[in-house]
Amino acid sequence: MDGKVVLSLQNVTKRYPGVLALNNVSIDFLEGEVHALLGENGAGKSTLIKAVAGAIEIDSGTISIKGNAFHKITPHISRELGVEVIYQEFNLVPTLSVAENIYLCEKSENSALYNADEFVKKAAAVLAQFDVNIDPRAMVHDLSIADQQIVEIAKAVSKNVKILIMDEPSAPLSVSEVEMMFNIIRQLKAKGVTVIYISHRLEEVFRISDRVSVLRDGCYITTVNTADTNRQELIKLMVGRALKESYPARKNPPGEIALEVKNLTGNGNRDISFVARSGEILGIAGLVGAGRTQLAQLIYGAVPAQKGEILISGNSAQIQSPLDAIKHRIGFLTEDRKGQGLFLEMSVKWNIVFPILKQLSKHSVVDTKKEDQIAGHYKDRINIKTPSLTQRVINLSGGNQQKVVLAKSLAAESDILIFDEPTRGIDVGAKQEIYHLMTELADLGKTILMISSDMEELLGMSDRIIVMSEGKLAGEVQKDNFDQHYILDLASGTN
Amino acid sequence: MTERSVALNSFGSKIGSLMKKNVPFVILIFLLILFSFIAPNFMTFGNIRTLVRQISFAGISAVGLMFVMISGGIDLSIGSQIVFSNVLLAIMMADWKLPLGAAIPLIMLVGTGLGLINGLLYIKLKIAPLIITLGTSAIFKGFGYIINHSRNIMGFPDAFRWFGQGYVGGIPVPVIVMVVVALIGSFILTKTYFGRKVFALGGNEEAARLAGVNVDKMKVILFMICGFVSSITTVLLLSRVFAGQTITGQGLEFDCLTAALLGGVSFKGGEGTIFGLMVGILIIGVLNNAMQLASFPDFSQTVVKGTVLLIAVAFDVYQKKRKAKVNVASVAA
């Protein structure tokens, strides 16, 4: 592929205390291409973005944007030259309107005073390009995550973006929303915008990108044309060894019914009924907003149900609070592990034993010996990579944080485990480990409910899938009939 | 390099890292040395005893405040709780002639009750505790004035003097009480199941709730602890002043809060140690005492105290930022 180079990194090096985050990296990005950036967590992708955006100072090397070479780049220069970054955490002001966000801090053209109408009109014009239905006057906190992301893109486009960097843009989106985002990316590409696309989902990389560059441990590995490569090769390049992305085989078939949900209503869901067996991985499919997490919250008592019944091993269980759920040996690994699952400032050990402290305490004094023993046991069992048990969780990688959440539920000896997006934002290697652990747990007779927006993962891991759509159960699919299109049909409520 | 100098070097670096971790402690030592040079009558047993007794009242209440702060809350009504309870206790003894054995337990019940009011308002109204306790602070103080009728209430049993004015082995009773309260507080926070829940609440309330913690119950209990601890301060303060006045206790939360922040208790919750808190209390004690020795005018003392509070908050924020930076670096690895 030949085209004009718009962004070029030459021998860029960035060192953090104790880490070489970017090691002599050189990459060219061409005009009007979608260029995927791949690498495991900690490979240096985020550092690279920040270097281009001018958010950090590089130690050596040059960054050329549209022919202007810089040793030092500031956020201001980067923006002036048309670089815009959409970070995983959005940079929107939730309490302002869409139009105000798109034109944040910009002055009116012909008035010294702020003219709301002018900006609403301009914002509407920008949004119109994307064939979306977003009211420029709506408050950002009232929008769905997908719409918020479109506002981010619109914000970049309104600034005459030349190079758009997107960090894991699909992570919070459902399948159909990803589709919409791809359309927008294609439109931008047609206008000559260079899109740098970072994602853990290889499937997306194949669908949207023209070229792929791989980073590993801060080093540039290679750039390939997407059409000339395949999954296995990319995975090999990313991890530096041949790693099969596969779903481990199950040893034992599902057994007795362990969980039965009857007409569960509340938290936006209506009349949900299904069963899950011991030793079964039950997948829960659905678009974002279909009510999957809300269902998990009902079962876990995080939000009390208005109506309906939950039976555990055939006995009716009154679950009105998380404490009730824990007593019934239900564990919930939330999708938002930082916000809801972990005490980030606390140690690994502290986090793992927290739910079972009562059992570890004698006359309410914590037995620290037992604490070390149990935390150590689970650290080894699920291979949490941490220098010590007293390391603070905030210092661990995403995959290892997820393992701490899992260890917590295992320590509580949960029989029914609800995994909400268990592999979101974690790298290929850690994903494999999580898959193996889930399989192992199912083989031990645990009941696993797995919510995932990654269809391939859901099909690969589940024994059976129930599909949700708009707060209701839309159908159930047996393993023999697993078919991505059929499930998507059910999920989008077309049947 | 000889073995001995290596050992000395590593000893030196150990001290260095210890000092970095205990900045407030280093400041305290520095102030002690500084003032013992400036004011010759500073470093005397008599003066230090006075100094610690002066600050012990705020020191006791600060332990209660710290429980609330670690859980992510704040109680600005401490001083006003004391204003009210102080007048009520005086009335109980002077007007109602209640014996000590009845009046003291009763006032502790009342103090805990004031905490209960704060806690219930907090969980029912779901308004930030800063605002709740700002409101109740005005209310408690107002009731204190109402029942006081602008009197100077006197006529307590002589035995009551012991609590605020007595000594055990040459050490003032309030100081001993402060040490005991601090030790109990430290034990609860670091060794018990309950203490872990306090940290959990301040560290991540939603995660604590999902882990099965009854968050509302905890919040109420913590405010009750704070109220209970301050009722102890009430008894000691009234005994020290030996007259029921509405001025007693006013603004005490200011010293408690400053001490907590100086000692590394995070304003956002989830962090803090009793040792740090006591260091913070002593720093304030030393400053108060030194300013009095140097006969600073009252108003200037207020300026200095305000400045110290701001420095303490800035220090808290600075440490957070530094930590965040270290985290970013290690996550990038």
- Residues of chain A contacting B71 with CB distance shorter than 8 Å: none
As a whole number of Å, the end-to-end CA separation of chain A is 43
Helices and strands (H and E) in chain A: how many = 17, 22
Q: Range with the lowest mean pLDDT among A246-250, B15-19, B87-91?
A: B15-19
Q: Indicate the SS3 state at residue A353.
A: helix
pLDDT at residue A240 greater than cutoff 80? no
pLDDT at residue B3 greater than cutoff 60? no
Q: What pLDDT, in 10s, does the model give residues B152-171?
A: 999 999 999 999 999 999 99
Cβ contacts below 8 Å, chain A against chain B, sum to 95
pLDDT at residue B332 greater than cutoff 60? no
What residues contact residue A485 under an 8 Å CB cut-off, 6+ apart? none
Radius of gyration over every alpha carbon of chain B, rounded to an integer in angstroms: 21
Q: What pLDDT, in 10s, does the model give residues B25-58?
A: 888 999 999 988 888 889 999 999 999 999 999 9
> Which residue on chain B is closest to A359 by alpha carbon?
B193
Alpha helices of A301-336 — where are they, by DSSP H? 322-327
Task: Taking residues A220-229, report their average pLDDT.
Answer: 93
Degrees to nearest 5, angle at CA A167 with A166 and A169: 75
pLDDT at residue B242 greater than cutoff 70? yes
Question: pLDDT at position B12, please?
Answer: 62
Question: Residue B194 and residue A323: Cβ atoms within 8 Å?
Answer: no
pLDDT at residue A72 greater than cutoff 60? yes
Tell me the residues of chain A between 366 and 405 that have a Cβ less than 8 Å away from chain B.
366, 394-395, 397
Sign of the Cα pseudo-torsion (A344, A350, A355, A358, in order): negative
Question: Residue A354 and residue B200: Cβ atoms within 8 Å?
Answer: yes
How far is the C-alpha of A39 from the C-alpha of A235, rounded, in Å?
Answer: 9
Q: Give yes or no for a contact between A362 and A435, defined as CB atoms under 8 angstroms apart.
A: no
Interface test with A, best of B187, B204, B209 (most A CBs within 10 A): B204
Question: Residue B207 and residue A342: Cβ atoms within 8 Å?
Answer: yes
Question: Residue A365 and residue B210: Cβ atoms within 8 Å?
Answer: no
Question: Residue B193 and residue A408: Cβ atoms within 8 Å?
Answer: no
Sign of the Cα pseudo-torsion (B226, B227, B228, B232, in order): positive
Q: Give yes or no for a contact between A211 and A201, defined as CB atoms under 8 angstroms apart.
A: no
How far is the C-alpha of A100 from the C-alpha of B256, rounded, in Å?
Answer: 43
Q: Is B242 exposed, middle or buried (0-12, 13-18, 19+ CB in 10 A)?
A: middle
Task: Tell which wins on pLDDT, B305 or B174.
Answer: B174
How far is the C-alpha of B311 from the C-alpha of B298, rounded, in Å?
Answer: 20
How far is the C-alpha of A383 from the C-alpha of A349, rounded, in Å?
Answer: 14
Q: Give yes or no for a contact between A308 and A263, defined as CB atoms under 8 angstroms apart.
A: yes
What residues contact residue B122 under an 8 Å CB cut-off, 6+ apart? B73, B129, B132, B219, B220, B223
When pLDDT is cut at 50, 70 and 90, the band that residue A456 belongs to is: confident
CB atoms within 10 A of CB B21: 10
Question: Residue A300 and residue B210: Cβ atoms within 8 Å?
Answer: yes
Residue A114's Cβ-side half-sphere holds a number of Cα atoms within 13 Å equal to 8
Q: How far is CA A248 from CA A178, A434, A445, A458, in A?
A: 28, 11, 16, 13
Question: pLDDT at position A147, please?
Answer: 86
Residue ranges of domains in chain A: 5-239, 257-491
Which amino acid appears at position A289 of this protein? G
> Which residue on chain B is closest to A363 by alpha carbon?
B192
Question: Residue B203 and residue A364: Cβ atoms within 8 Å?
Answer: no
> Which residue on chain B is closest to A393 by alpha carbon?
B327
What residues contact residue A438 under an 8 Å CB cut-off, 6+ apart? A281, A419, A422, A448, A450, A461
Q: Spell out the SS3 assignment of chain B.
A: CCHHHHHHHHHHHHHHHHHHHCHHHHHHHHHHHHHHHHCCCCCCHHHHHHHHHHHHHHHHHHHHHHHHHHCCCCCCCHHHHHHHHHHHHHHHHHCCCCCHHHHHHHHHHHHHHHHHHHHHHHHHHCCCHHHHHHHHHHHHHHHHHHHHCCCCECCCCHHHHHHHHCEECCEEHHHHHHHHHHHHHHHHHHHEHHHHHHHHHHHCHHHHHHCCCCHHHHHHHHHHHHHHHHHHHHHHHHHHHCCECCCCCCCHHHHHHHHHHHCCCCCCCCCCCHHHHHHHHHHHHHHHHHHHHCCCCHHHHHHHHHHHHHHHHHHHHHHHHHHHHHHHHHHCC
Question: Residue A343 and residue B214: Cβ atoms within 8 Å?
Answer: no
DSSP of A382-437, one letter per residue? Answer: TT---S-TTSBGGGS-HHHHHHHHHHHHHHTT-SEEEEESTTTT--HHHHHHHHHH
Q: What pLDDT, in 10s, does the model give residues B12-31?
A: 666 666 665 678 888 899 99
Alpha helices of A103-143 — where are they, by DSSP H? 116-128
How far is the C-alpha of A279 from the C-alpha of A388, rounded, in Å?
Answer: 33
- Residues of chain B contacting A22 with CB distance shorter than 8 Å: none
Interface test with A, best of B191, B201, B210 (most A CBs within 10 A): B210
Q: Is B321 exposed, middle or buried (0-12, 13-18, 19+ CB in 10 A)?
A: exposed
Tokens 């006003």 belong to residue:
B80
Task: Taking residues A400-425, report their average pLDDT.
Answer: 90
How far is the C-alpha of B151 from the C-alpha of B153, rounded, in Å?
Answer: 6
Q: Range with the lowest mean pLDDT among A66-75, B152-161, B310-319?
A: B310-319
Interface test with B, best of A354, A408, A418 (most B CBs within 10 A): A354
Say what the ipTM of the complex is.
0.82
Tell me the residues of chain A between 317 and 346 that have a Cβ less than 8 Å away from chain B.
321-323, 325-326, 332, 334, 339-346
Q: Range with the lowest mean pLDDT among A78-92, B222-236, B306-320?
A: B306-320
Q: Give yes or no for a contact between A114 and A108, defined as CB atoms under 8 angstroms apart.
A: yes
Q: A123-132, A201-210, A274-283 — which one is most confidently predicted on average?
A: A274-283
Residue ranges of domains in chain B: 57-248
State how far residue A96 is from chain B, nearest Cα, in angstroms: 23
When pLDDT is cut at 50, 70 and 90, the band that residue B139 belongs to is: very high
Question: Residue B207 and residue A343: Cβ atoms within 8 Å?
Answer: yes
In eight-state DSSP terms, residue A139 is B
Q: Any CB–CB contact under 8 A between A354 and chain B?
A: yes
Question: pLDDT at position A241, please?
Answer: 59
Question: Residue B210 and residue A332: Cβ atoms within 8 Å?
Answer: yes
How far is the C-alpha of A226 from the C-alpha of A204, rounded, in Å?
Answer: 11
- Residues of chain B contacting A17 with CB distance shorter than 8 Å: 326, 329
Tell me the residues of chain A between 39 and 58 that have a Cβ less than 8 Å away from chain B.
42, 44, 46-47
CA of residue B153 relative to chain centroid, distance = 27
Q: How far is CA B33 from CA A77, A356, B103, B320, in A?
A: 52, 48, 43, 29
Of A321, A343, A364, the CB nearest to B203: A343
pLDDT at residue A160 greater than cutoff 60? yes
Residue B331's Cβ-side half-sphere holds a number of Cα atoms within 13 Å equal to 19
Comparing CA positions, the residue from A25, A14, A39, A5 lying closest to residue A427 is A39
Q: In the structure encoding, which two tokens stand for residue A438, read together? A: 């889930």
Q: In the structure encoding, which two tokens stand for residue A210, read together? A: 């023209």
Q: Any CB–CB contact under 8 A between A465 and chain B?
A: no
Tokens 């957070």 belong to residue:
B320
Q: Any CB–CB contact under 8 A between A109 and chain B?
A: no
Question: Residue A322 and residue B210: Cβ atoms within 8 Å?
Answer: yes
How far is the C-alpha of A370 from the C-alpha of B27, rounded, in Å?
Answer: 38
State how far residue B52 is from chain A, nearest Cα, in angstroms: 31
> Which residue on chain A is closest to B200 by alpha carbon?
A343
How far is the C-alpha of A213 from the C-alpha of A28, rounded, in Å?
Answer: 10
Degrees to nearest 5, angle at CA B308 with B305 and B310: 115
How far is the C-alpha of B294 from the C-alpha of A380, rounded, in Å?
Answer: 61
Q: Any CB–CB contact under 8 A between A358 and chain B?
A: yes
Q: Indicate the SS3 state at residue A156.
A: helix
Q: B171 has which bridge partners?
A: B168
CB atoms within 10 A of CB B214: 15
Provide φ and ψ at A164, rounded to 5°: -110, 120
Q: Give yes or no for a contact between A24 and A219, defined as CB atoms under 8 angstroms apart.
A: yes
> Which residue on chain A is closest to B269 by alpha carbon?
A345
Q: How far is CA A438 from CA A281, A382, A384, A456, B168, in A?
A: 8, 11, 15, 16, 63
How far is the C-alpha of A209 from the C-alpha of A226, rounded, in Å?
Answer: 7
Q: What is the dihedral of CA A104, A109, A110, A111, to 10 degrees?
A: 20
Q: Indicate the SS3 state at residue A20.
A: strand
CATH code for the structural domain at A5-239: 3.40.50.300
Question: Residue B210 and residue A341: Cβ atoms within 8 Å?
Answer: yes
In eight-state DSSP terms, residue A218 is T
Question: Residue B204 and residue A339: Cβ atoms within 8 Å?
Answer: yes
What pTM does this model have? 0.78
Q: What pLDDT, in 10s, does the model give residues A284-295?
A: 998 777 899 999
What residues contact residue A326 under an 8 Å CB cut-off, 6+ apart? A355, A412, A414, B211, B212
pLDDT at residue B1 greater than cutoff 50? no
CA of residue A42 relative to chain centroid, distance = 16
Strands A281-286, A447-451: pairing is parallel
State how far residue A114 is from chain B, nearest Cα, in angstroms: 33
As a whole number of Å, the end-to-end CA separation of chain B is 35
- Residues of chain A contacting B208 with CB distance shorter than 8 Å: 343
Task: Tell which wins on pLDDT, A263 or A492.
Answer: A263
How far is the C-alpha of A195 from the C-alpha of A32, rounded, in Å?
Answer: 7
Degrees to nearest 5, angle at CA A442 with A307 and A250: 135
> Which residue on chain A is closest to B211 by alpha carbon?
A355
- Residues of chain A contacting B204 with CB distance shorter than 8 Å: 339-340, 342-344
Matching fold, domains A5-239 and A257-491: yes
The architecture of the domain spanning A257-491 is: 3-Layer(aba) Sandwich (3.40)
Percent of chain B with pLDDT over 90: 72
Question: Residue B329 and residue A17: Cβ atoms within 8 Å?
Answer: yes
